[in-house]
Structure 1
Amino acid sequence: MIELAALLAAFLEATGREAAIWERREGSVVPTLLGASTPSFAERTEPGAMAWDVATWARAQALHAQLVATGDSVGWLFVEAGHAPDADRLLGRLVPVVRRLIRERDGATRELVERYEEINLLYAIGELLGGTTSVEDVADTLLGELAATVGAKRAVFLHTNRAQGLLSPIASLGLGETSYEAVSLDRADHIAVRAYRTGGACTEDGVAAALGDPVLSGQGAPLLAVAITRPSSGIGITGTFAVPTRRSDGGAVPLGVLVLAGRDGGLPFSAGDRKLAVAVSTQIGTAMHNASLVRAAVERQQMAREMQLANELQLKLLPNPRVVQPEARAAARVVPAESVGGDFFLLARLDRDRTGVLIGDVSGHGYQSALIMALALSAAGIHVQAAFDPSIALEAVHRSLRDELESTEMSISMCYAVIDTRAGELRFANAGHPHAFAVTADGQCLRLSAVAPPLGWCEDTIEECVMTWKPGTRLVFFTDGVVDARDAAGERLTEPALLDTLKTMTNGETPEQMLDALFRQLDAHVGRTPLRDDCTVVVVDRP
């Protein structure tokens, strides 16, 4: 041992005394020299190491002899006589420490040498997976690298198809013209299914292997199957490329299975082979999970862009409040709870004396409501121009949308009012819309009561109502998303709170000022709490 020889040489230099250490293993007759300060002293002490009574021999040679432990054996430390016994004892304590460190170093070195190919494989696979976003594209290479390292001649890479209940092959090795069919997850006897269900590794040989995978095992060649599982981060994602989060039994859902067979000489797969296969499968599972996250992120970004575009298109469908000028003034705002919503309004300059104002709220919110909203707005735009009577216009809209409302099981609350300044009247028809008001110059809020249920509920006749219209009166319509807006504690804004704000506006405020005041009240109430429903407010007056 070079290290022990160096230690004993340093002892010689420091004390001027020679030293040697001999080891005698259990069951061995011939002792082994572990180290000596000089070759001559090693030769001098060899007879003592072989002596029956080492201590007696050492005294006869004027040497000191210490019995020291050297790990799994014992040894004798011979030192020339001198006047520093403490140095001898210190040397006796140092020798076992140095010996243990040497053993640990040599053991680690052997482990690295034995596992070099495995480490190299893991590194190569890491490089391979790091350069692709699709494991399927490199599945053949992955399978070949792993099979070569564990000495398998045949192998298959199976991908989980949960929708069909199958493990489907995406890569194979060494099968020639043989076709490897997808494996049903109901086949409990198949080794790949067993690995899938346990989420770990399985090995078989002999008759059991032939039954576990007849294609790969053939006449009973040893088999190794290992499940490919994603990292158990607990992160869930949604979308077309969603990765399953957790199994019902608490384990991670395998993304696939690797099955290997056909080792040289028919040798079974070892515990080391299982450990390596599990490490590789973890790398692959991580890469597949990361690729799914990337795909899902791209999908979400694309969806966000599409929803933003839909929002912009929907807002463009709504009329500009200036369309009723110069006879009337109007202000309106729609804030969807999602990117798109089901609230809408319509303003119509029917003639110099009449202005039409319509508000609608499709049940629900989101993309489906937005589609019905677009149809309703289009139909209303046609019918309010064709029929000056509000009730006739709403019934015509209902007929146009009847099939869509029935098929989607949705409904629309809608109120349409016509301001007629020549007649001094406000004529309106209200199909289930609860929040429609005429606000007088002195702050009175007169409700335009519903005379029929929302469109889509039934075929009831929609009656027309008439009330007096006086200068200074404003129409204020809003949807239930404004009334039901919640704060962080879940408290509703409520209709009375909104009406209290309107009652204070008796100084000739413009529609824009009234609209801004209502939305400031809404924003102050909800704060950072997300809206639960679409919010729309329309304000119109005829000075």
Structure 2
Amino acid sequence: MTEVTALLAAFLEATGREAAIWERREGAVIPSLLGASSSGFAARTEAGASAWDVATWARSQALHAQLVTTGDSVGWLFVEPGHAADADRLLGRLLPVVRRLTRERDGATRELAERYEEINLLYAIGELLGGTTSVEDVADTLLVELATTVGAKRAVFLQTNRPQGLLTPIASMGLRDITYEPVSLDRHEHVAVRAFRSGSACTEDGSAAVFADPVLSGRGAPLLAVAITRPSSGVGITGTFAVPTRRGAEGVALPLGVLVLGGREGGAPFSAGDRKLAVAVSTQIGTAMHNASLVRAAVERQQMAREMQLANELQLKLLPNPRVVQPEARAAARVVPAESVGGDFFLLARLDRDRTGVLIGDVSGHGYQSALIMALALSAAGIHVQAAFDPSIALEAVHRSLRDELESTEMSISMCYAVIDARAGELRFANAGHPHAFVVTADGQWTRLAAVAPPLGWCDDTIEECVMTWKPGSRLVFITDGVVDARDARDNRLTEPAILDTLRTMTHGETPDAILDALFQQLSAHVGRTPLRDDCTVVVVDRP
């Protein structure tokens, strides 16, 4: 021990006499050096510490030898001879200090030995939790390991069911045919609820234990309850497996569950050491449950991202290829949803050699629900535009097909359907609430296809058909309000006049693809990195 060596070195400096203490611990064959004033004197006395008759050996070496009891061991103090009274008094004071140091050392050793099972338990639980992403799957094993270590005969693992305000058992031990019922968080007298609300450990014994948990306490056997807490990261995760972020009155994250142990053999109360061990185990479990929640949330987000990407790909495949109207007409169209999927759609139809049908629709809102209505509307429109010669009849037929879905979802669809009749030189259209539909002539003049009825789903009004002249070189341009209302970083709208200004400048016979690219470049330049708030769709059609 370094402390004994320092004491003997000080003794040498004060008296000029060398000293060394050797000890033989219980069960040891070879003595060990406890401390020496110098390494040379330690080497000189090593043979004496192993001698059969230590006292005789010391006299043969002209040394004094004194038996010393040091804690759990027996030792010998070897000292060079001398007769100074001060040195003898100093030596007398030194021996009690040595005995105290060795007792402290032996006490620490005993405590470490006593805590070996607890240390081994923490290690075993760490290994167990490290090999699973579901604490529920190993809850029984965790409970048995902890209960065995602290001497409990009965135990239960309760998990927090926050929506129902319950602590629900997911594992139990020693209850045989007894069913441990869920514990309401309103039962303030229950030991599990008290641990939950305090976010720590609590104990109970005697008649109070029976009142605190009659199932586990039995006839007053001691109880130990400890809250399972998670790391306080402040990170909220969205999804089914969200990590709870709501906090209690003390500002501590609400526990994920509670461990309750009882029925201790002999009726001895749980010690402070038992409480510390239970808290350490609960922290390990809470960390594992927290990590499992993070893993599950990450998997859920990845799965949702894959599903939304698939939905986006499937939705785009539902839309027609603009080449379907060739060779009589040229068309270009693009849909950019604000989320993975959206509610904007278009339809192009080659009705015959002289007539080309063009339809645009915008389901209210955006996202997954709008995408479902969009798929139904596109399917219905694909059928009815082929069956009806009159655009108004086609839109009314689409409305009848979707009436129930629109009423149940409280959604609506703005829709405009136009038919270019090249032989007759006219454009026949019906517009149900779609605000941004235009005919742009070769000289840059534009005419709005006015809405003659509200969006589908608002009411059952008759949708009237309109007719206007179609001149060679004209273009049909349909835009959804997501483009017009697109916002920049300062929340400024792109606006319809800005889009029409761009269309007026393109009077040199540009193709529909060139016009489409110009409009989306204008949109991109305006919004920059600002996320889109609504789906954006543009359709451009002409008949050269």
Q: What TM bracket, shorter-length normalisation?
A: 0.7 to 0.9
Amino acid at match of 2:414: S
Using a 3 Å threshold, how does the CA distance of structure 1 residues 11 and 498 change in structure 2: closer, same or farther? same
1:373 aligns with 2:374: yes
Question: How far apart are residue 253 of structure 1 and its match?
Answer: 2.2
**Residue 16 of structure 1: CA displacement?**
8.5
1:165/1:4 CA distance change after superposition, 3 Å: closer
Look up the match of 2:238.
Answer: 238
**Structure 2 match to 1:527:** 528
SS in 1 for 2:167: strand
Contact 1:208/1:220 (<8 A) preserved: yes
The residue number in structure 2 matching 1:116 is: 116
Report if aligned partners of 2:8, 2:19 keep a CA contact under 8 Å in 1: no
Once the two structures are TM-superposed, the CA of residue 99 in structure 1 deviates from its matched residue by 10
Q: 2:73 aligns to what?
A: none
Q: What pairs up with 1:470-509 in 2 under 5 angstroms?
A: 470-509=471-510
Q: Which residue of 2 is the match for residue 26 of structure 1?
A: none
CA displacement at 1:341 relative to structure 2: 0.7
Q: Are the counterparts in 1 of residues 359 and 417 from structure 2 also a CA contact under 8 Å? A: yes
Equivalent residue number for residue 425 of structure 1 = 426
1:21 deviation in Å? 11
Give per-residue Cα distances to partners, 1:4-24, cap 9 Å, x unaligned: 5544665688898116799xx
After superposition, the C-alpha distances for 1:482-529 in whole angstroms (9 at most, x for unaligned) are: 111122222221111111111110111000000011111111222222
User: Once structures 1 and 2 are overlaid, which stretch shifts more, 251-260 or 209-218?
Assistant: 251-260
| Residue-by-residue CA offset, 1:84-132 (whole Å, 9 max, x unaligned) | xxxxxxxxxxx99x99998986675555334322221111100000011
Instruction: Measure the CA separation in 2 of the matches of 1:139 and 1:231.
Output: 19
Decide whether the 8 Å contact of 1:229 with 1:252 is kept in 2: yes
Structure 1 window deviating more from structure 2 (158-167 vs 332-341): it is 158-167
Does residue 156 of structure 1 match 2:183?
no
1:309 to partner: Cα distance:
1.6
- The change in CA–CA distance for 1:274 and 1:10 in structure 2 (over 3 A counts) is closer
SS of the residue aligned with 1:120? Answer: helix
> In structure 2, do the counterparts of structure 1 residues 112 and 458 end up closer, same or farther at CA, with 3 Å as the change threshold?
same
Tell me the number of residue pairs that the alignment of Structure 1 and Structure 2 aligns: 496
TM-score of the superposed pair, with normalisation by structure 2: 0.84
Partner-residue secondary structure (3-state), 2:537: strand
Residue aligning to 1:383: 384
Residues 9 and 36 in structure 2, CA contact (< 8 A), matched pair in contact too = no
3-state SS, counterpart of residue 308 of structure 1:
helix
Mapped to 2, the partners of 1:104 and 1:242 lie a distance apart of 50
CA distance in 1, matches of 2:239, 2:233: 18
CA distance in 2, matches of 1:501, 1:343: 22
Secondary structure at the counterpart of residue 434 of structure 1: coil
> Match of 1:459, SS?
coil
Unpaired runs of 5+ residues, structure 2, are 22-33, 38-44, 46-57, 69-81
Relative to 1, partners in 2 of residues 1:332 and 1:185: Cα closer, same or farther, differing over 3 Å? same
2:485 and 2:108 map into 1 onto residues whose CA distance is 69
Kindly indicate whether residue 203 of structure 2 is the aligned counterpart of residue 213 of structure 1: no
TM-score under structure 1 normalisation?
0.84
Is the contact made by 1:21 and 1:76 (CA closer than 8 Å) also made in structure 2? no
Cα deviation digits, residues 152-202 of structure 1 (max 9, x gap): 111111122223332222211122222222222222221112212222211
Q: Distance in 2 between matches of 1:442 and 1:101?
A: 105
SS of 1:158 mapped into structure 2 = strand
What does residue 324 of structure 1 align with? 325
1:25 counterpart residue number: none
Residues 15 and 87, structure 2, Cα contact 8 Å, conserved in 1 = no
> Which amino acid is the alignment partner of residue 298 of structure 1?
V
In the superposition, relative to structure 1, how do residues 289 and 404 fare at CA in structure 2: closer, same or farther (>3 Å)?
same
Tell me the distance in 2 between the aligned counterparts of 1:529 and 1:105: 68
Cα separation, partners in 2 of 1:410 and 1:248, compared to 1, 3 Å = farther
Partner SS state of residue 254, structure 1:
coil
Amino acid of the structure 2 residue aligned with 1:486: R
Q: Distance in 1 between matches of 2:236 and 2:103?
A: 48
Deviation at residue 365 of structure 1 after TM alignment: 0.6
3-state SS in 1 of match to 2:181: coil
- Residue 43 of structure 1: how far off its partner (Å): 6.7
Give CA deviations for 1:373-419 in whole Å, capped at 9, x if unaligned: 11111111111111121111111111111111111000000111111
Asked whether the 8 Å contact 1:237–1:293 carries over to 2, the reply is yes
Partners of 1:11 and 1:17 within 8 A in 2: no
Q: 8 Å contact 1:36–1:42 — kept in the other structure? A: no
Contact 2:12 2:19 in 1 (8 A): no
Deviation at 1:284, TM superposition (A): 0.7
SS of the residue 1:492 aligns to: coil
Query: What CA deviation, in whole Å up to 9, does each residue of 1:449-497 have, x standing for no partner?
Result: 1111111111222222222111111011110111111222222211111
Find the aligned partners of 1:276 and 1:8 in 2 and give their Cα distance.
Answer: 38
Q: Distance in 2 between matches of 1:246 and 1:424?
A: 67
2:183 alignment partner in structure 1:
183
What is the letter of the counterpart of residue 219 of structure 2? Q
Deviates more, 1:193-202 or 1:425-434: 193-202
Q: Secondary structure at the match of 2:256?
A: strand
1:86 is aligned to none
- Given the alignment of the two structures, is residue 443 of structure 1 paired with residue 480 of structure 2, yes or no? no
Structure 1 position 200 matched with structure 2 position 200: yes
Do the aligned partners of 1:4 and 1:36 also contact (CA within 8 Å) in 2? no
Say yes or no: does 1:137 pair with 2:126. Answer: no
Q: List, as ranges, runs of 4+ consecutive aligned residues in structure 1 with deviation greater than 3 Å.
A: 2-16, 19-22, 34-44, 60-68, 74-78, 98-114
**In structure 2, C-alpha distance between the alignment counterparts of 1:279 and 1:403, rounded to whole Å:** 58
Q: How does 1:274-289 map to 2 (within 5 A)?
A: 274-289=275-290
What does residue 291 of structure 1 align with? 292
Cα distance change on mapping 1:331 and 1:67 into 2, 3 Å: farther
In 1, Cα distance between equivalents of 2:281 and 2:534? 49
- What is the alpha-carbon distance in structure 2 between the residues aligned to residue 136 and residue 360 of structure 1? 49
Gaps of 5+ in 1: 23-33, 47-59, 69-73, 79-94
**Distance (Å, rounded) in 2 between the aligned partners of 1:221 and 1:345:** 74
Q: Deviations over 1:201-232 (max 9, x none)?
A: 11100011001111110110010011112221
> Given that residues 65 and 77 in structure 1 are in contact (C-alpha distance below 8 angstroms), is that contact kept between their aligned partners in structure 2?
no
**Separation in structure 1 between the aligned mates of residue 475 and residue 100 of structure 2, nearest angstrom:** 95
Does the CA-based 8 Å contact 1:159-1:170 persist in structure 2? yes
Bigger Cα displacement from structure 2, 150-159 vs 2-11: 2-11
Instruction: Give the equivalent residue in structure 2 for 1:17.
Output: 16
